[in-house]
Amino acid sequence: MALSDPSRTLVSLGYDTVPALAPLTYPGRPVPAPSLLLGEELLALDAADPDPAHWTVPGHGRLDDVLAAAGQAGTSGRTPVLAVGSNASPAQVAYKLGVLNLPVAVPMVPLRIRGIDVGCSAHIGRNGYVAAAPFLSPGTERTLVVSWLDEAQLRAIDATELPSYRRTALADAPLPGIQLYVSEYGVLRDPATGAPRPGGGHQAELLTALMADSPALRALLGPTPKDWVRQAAASATLREQGTRLLRATGPL
């Protein structure tokens, strides 16, 4: 897919760090405004109209026409999927699709959501980090990123989330048909408050806090966050042992 504007590449814009390859950068940089991830570019997207069929890529025309020119499905054939973690990062999405040689053509739009907050899944993922997970929180409002995925892209993202997460419809959403991934492990409690531990922040700080709360985790994976992600990513056995220790704190 040919580049049309080198100033809009992920590298030029500073969105090229992939959390799967650099676990302590999890969850990565989310798109701050409506964007079209197209190959190695992140193009501005005018998504002011509620109907995606009317969205445009400034300087390039209607979004559906841009997607068609790239040989990709238009918006009517796509599923909107809400991201609470690294799937809001264009670098992570591009990486997940790229490893399967799928075309990288994904509209990504921040959306204000009520009733959902972001916690920490009560498990250690295959890349060594403790990923984010949503939980119900009446009265909470957050801006989260929605990616519009075609069928092949949706299967690819599913493969990176299952079996630790399941994809489900979001009830009472402002966007018809929106889906999100819910952790099969539940979310971690904050031992100081009993409430869900906030997720989606700085991974090194989270791992440091988890080891401070659990000498057993520190002994297993520490003493530093760098040690944690290196060892956990290399060993399914250590991930399983660490997950058991995390869940011993009583996930919600």
Query: Considering its fold, how many domains does the chain have in total?
Result: 1
**Residue 238 forms part of a structural domain:** no
- The domain in which residue 128 lies consists of 6-200
**Residue 20 forms part of a structural domain:** yes
**Residue 242 forms part of a structural domain:** no
pLDDT band at 5 (very low <50, low <70, confident <90, very high): confident
Q: Please report, for residues 11, 16, 33, 173, the alpha-carbon distance to residue 90 in angstroms, rounded to integers and kept in the order given.
A: 11, 8, 12, 23
CATH number of the domain encompassing residue 184: 3.10.490.10
Rounded Cα–Cα distance for residues 81 and 134 (Å): 13
Instruction: Return contacts of 44-49, CB within 8 angstroms, 24+ apart.
Output: 44/8, 45/107, 45/108, 45/109, 47/107, 47/109
**Residue 89 forms part of a structural domain:** yes
| Mean pLDDT, all residues of the chain | 94
| Residue from 195, 181, 50 nearest 109 by CA | 50
Two structure tokens written together for 129: 């980090």
The tens digit of pLDDT for each residue in 63-73 reads: 999 999 999 99
Rounded Cα–Cα distance for residues 17 and 149 (Å): 21
More confident residue, 112 or 173: 112
The pTM is what? Answer: 0.93
Rounded Cα–Cα distance for residues 100 and 120 (Å): 27
The tens digit of pLDDT for each residue in 145-185 reads: 999 999 999 999 999 999 999 999 998 888 889 999 999 99
Q: Which residues contact 16 (CB under 8 A, 6 or more apart)?
A: 9, 10, 91
**Residue 220 forms part of a structural domain:** no
CA quadruple 59, 63, 65, 66: dihedral positive or negative? positive
**Residue 70 forms part of a structural domain:** yes
